[in-house]
């Protein structure tokens, strides 16, 4: 096969068909915010997402298998051994994906905080009164959402998730997601990083539920440096926050086309992605595949 068939192109990744059982997942340096993709890439962003996914796949192996086969180009088919993909491509098993975003929240922030301010609930479930923004919840909570093909995902209750995928699959998804979050957050906390929440994608491979897609990256999680966390205020995040802040400051209406990103915003965003990887994993990003 001289060329791989492009299966899907998303905001950040391309998926290619390798064979009947495998795909190649390639993470680009594109960045999106407010559901809009910007014209300026963030250098090395795709490599950070790939490196973190591989690291967490190994760390959480006792919780559940993932669909990851290899990040080593030597294991790829010849058509996938492109220099520009080195360090940003993963050979993965095809999975029958659950039509849910499996979100786990350990702290109340984002859309959950907005809902709580309005109704005192989170995904329809009543929470204790008097919680502050970014406060830690009594225990991690599985808060699924729909997986929208267009527009925004919609937060749903656990019972609604059961209606979508069935009681057995919903229970397994909740168990895997909460335990993966618990172990990951304990590890990150020991390295001075709070995982406020994260989103898992789960699927079925050979009759077994696996964790698929990216795993505990700055794109799928909120990482807060512990030294900056103070309940009652929005913490600094190790993610695309410089992009959000800079573009909102322009008065942009969040409709395409987006305003251009300055060199300072691009550099600040790259620094946060690399910092997240290095602080959480304890490894140097320069040692990742394709880096020198």
| Cα–Cα distance measured from residue 156 to residue 145, given in angstroms and rounded to the nearest whole number | 5
Which residue range forms the structural domain that includes residue 86? 1-94
Per-position pLDDT tens, the chain of length 292: 458 999 999 999 999 999 999 999 999 999 999 989 999 999 999 999 999 999 999 999 999 999 999 999 999 999 999 999 999 999 999 999 999 999 999 999 988 999 999 999 998 899 999 999 999 999 999 999 998 766 678 889 999 999 999 999 999 999 999 999 999 999 999 999 999 999 999 999 999 999 999 999 999 999 999 999 999 999 999 999 999 999 999 999 999 999 999 999 999 999 999 999 999 999 999 999 877 5
Q: Is residue 9 part of a domain?
A: yes
Domain co-membership, 111 together with 218: yes
Domain co-membership, 110 together with 206: yes
- Cβ-contact 108, 137 below 8 angstroms: yes
| Number of domains forming the structure of the chain | 2
Q: Is residue 74 part of a domain?
A: yes
Domain co-membership, 107 together with 215: yes
**Residue ending a domain, choose from 64, 79, 94:** 94
Q: Is residue 122 part of a domain?
A: yes
**Residue ending a domain, choose from 63, 94, 125:** 94
CA torsion sign, 154 to 158 to 160 to 163? positive
Residue 82: both structure tokens together? 């492109």
Residue 169: both structure tokens together? 């699959």
Q: Is residue 276 part of a domain?
A: no
What Å distances lie between residue 98 and 6, 10, 27, 50, 211, CA to CA? Answer: 22, 18, 21, 22, 10
- Cβ-contact 14, 26 below 8 angstroms: yes
pTM: 0.95
| Cα–Cα distance measured from residue 222 to residue 199, given in angstroms and rounded to the nearest whole number | 9
Domain co-membership, 119 together with 68: no
């Amino acid at each position: 096969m001289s060329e791989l068939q492009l299966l899907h192109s998303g905001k950040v990744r391309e998926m290619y068909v390798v064979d009947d059982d495998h795909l190649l997942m390639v993470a680009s340096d594109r960045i999106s915010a407010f559901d809009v993709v910007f014209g300026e890439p963030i250098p090395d962003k795709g490599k950070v997402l790939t490196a973190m996914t591989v690291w967490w796949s190994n760390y959480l192996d006792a919780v559940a298998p993932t669909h990851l086969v290899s990040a080593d180009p030597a294991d790829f088919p010849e058509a996938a051994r492109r220099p520009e993909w080195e360090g940003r491509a993963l050979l993965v098993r095809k999975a029958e994906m659950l039509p849910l975003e499996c979100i786990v929240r350990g702290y109340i922030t984002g859309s959950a905080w907005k809902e709580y301010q309005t109704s005192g609930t989170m995904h329809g479930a009543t929470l204790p009164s008097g919680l502050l923004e970014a406060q830690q919840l009594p225990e991690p909570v599985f808060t699924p959402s729909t997986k929208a093909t267009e527009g925004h995902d919609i937060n749903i209750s656990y019972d609604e998730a059961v209606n979508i995928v069935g009681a057995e699959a919903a229970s397994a998804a909740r168990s895997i997601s909460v335990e993966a979050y618990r172990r990951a957050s304990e590890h990150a906390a020991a390295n001075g990083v709070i995982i406020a929440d994260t989103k898992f994608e789960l699927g079925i491979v050979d009759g077994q539920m696996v964790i698929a897609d990216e795993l505990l990256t700055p794109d799928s999680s909120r990482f807060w440096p512990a030294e900056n966390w103070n309940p009652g205020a929005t913490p600094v995040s190790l993610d695309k926050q410089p992009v959000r802040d800079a573009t909102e400051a322009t008065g942009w209406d969040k409709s395409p086309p987006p305003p251009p990103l300055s060199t300072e915003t691009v550099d600040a965003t790259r620094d946060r992605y690399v910092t997240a990887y290095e602080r959480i994993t304890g490894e140097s990003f320069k040692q990742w595949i394709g880096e020198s």
